[in-house]
């Protein structure tokens, strides 16, 4: 069931940040930085997968995502909602339910047997597909999913995420050069602002996180482990 009214973009961002903080999906540690998949350090880490265990928050955020996409892209802009393996799968199912559209998902790589498919579910030529994921950092991981969707003859010009890092300037260009528009609910800047408003972390930690957000590459270089 689609909501009939919804908050402004700014209020959606603030509320999303508040919910992520409330369930402790946001982690800040400047003394012992997290090591990302790239091998680089970061004082911040976010786990959007935790959202699936909180029904009230999960439902509200999926309402937010649905109305954000419809407001930005159009109310009749899509024929199919695809989730990226694995974190995008539950969220794509929830958005598809709200939009009364078919749901599919995209594997990271062919499964290696049977049809050797990357697309699971029914996706057909000419369908306009929305790719749903939990988050995006630099946008690079989305391109493989988009290409797999396009190989079916469907189109994919939009991706929607709950959380967008918004600290790497190349992200929107990477996606834009591939013909993909990004839709999101909140960023690290929204989370930092809400964390300050709530005094969710001590001031020293938040100041160091802000340094990282302003120049992540320099911070990572200065804090690289030997």
Residue 4 lies in a domain: no
| 12 has a pLDDT exceeding 90 | yes
Domain hosting residue 146, numbered range? 9-222
* DSSP 8-state secondary structure symbol assigned to residue 61: H
CATH, residue 101: 3.40.50.2020
Annotate 107-117 with b (16+ C-beta within 10 A) or e (fewer): beeeeeeeeee
User: Rounded to 5 degrees, what angle do the CA atoms 203, 9, 142 make?
Assistant: 85
Q: What is the pLDDT of residue 112?
A: 64
Determine, yes or no, domain membership for 2.
no
The residue assigned the tokens 């690290």 is 188
- The pLDDT of residue 159 is 97
- Does residue 82 lie within any of the structural domains? yes
pLDDT per position as a tens digit, 146-187? 999 999 999 999 999 999 999 988 898 999 999 999 999 999
Q: Residue 55: what are its φ and ψ, rounded to 5°?
A: -60, -40
Total tally of structural domains belonging to the chain: 1
Q: In whole angstroms, what is the distance from residue 186 CA to residue 18 CA? A: 10
Q: How many C-beta atoms surround the C-beta of residue 221 within 10 A? A: 11
């Amino acid at each position: 069931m689609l909501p009939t009214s919804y908050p402004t973009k700014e209020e959606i961002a603030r509320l999303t940040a508040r919910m992520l903080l409330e369930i402790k999906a946001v982690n800040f540690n400047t003394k012992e930085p997290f090591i990302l998949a790239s091998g680089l350090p970061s004082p911040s880490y976010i786990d959007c997968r935790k959202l699936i265990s909180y029904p009230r928050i999960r439902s509200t955020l999926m309402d937010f995502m649905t109305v954000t996409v419809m407001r930005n892209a159009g109310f009749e802009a899509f024929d199919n909602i695809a989730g990226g393996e694995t974190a995008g799968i539950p969220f794509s199912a929830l958005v598809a339910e709200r939009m009364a559209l078919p749901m599919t998902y995209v594997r990271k790589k062919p499964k290696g047997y049977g049809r050797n498919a990357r697309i699971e579910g029914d996706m057909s030529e000419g369908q306009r597909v929305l790719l749903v994921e939990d988050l995006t950092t630099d946008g690079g991981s989305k391109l493989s999913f988009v290409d797999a969707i396009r190989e079916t003859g469907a189109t994919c010009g939009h991706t929607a995420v709950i959380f967008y890092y918004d600290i790497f300037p190349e992200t929107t260009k990477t996606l834009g050069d591939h013909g993909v528009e990004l839709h999101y609910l909140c960023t690290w800047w929204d989370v930092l602002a809400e964390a300050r408003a709530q005094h969710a972390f001590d001031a020293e930690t938040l100041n160091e996180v802000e340094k990282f957000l302003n120049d992540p590459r320099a911070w990572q270089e200065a804090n690289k482990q030997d």
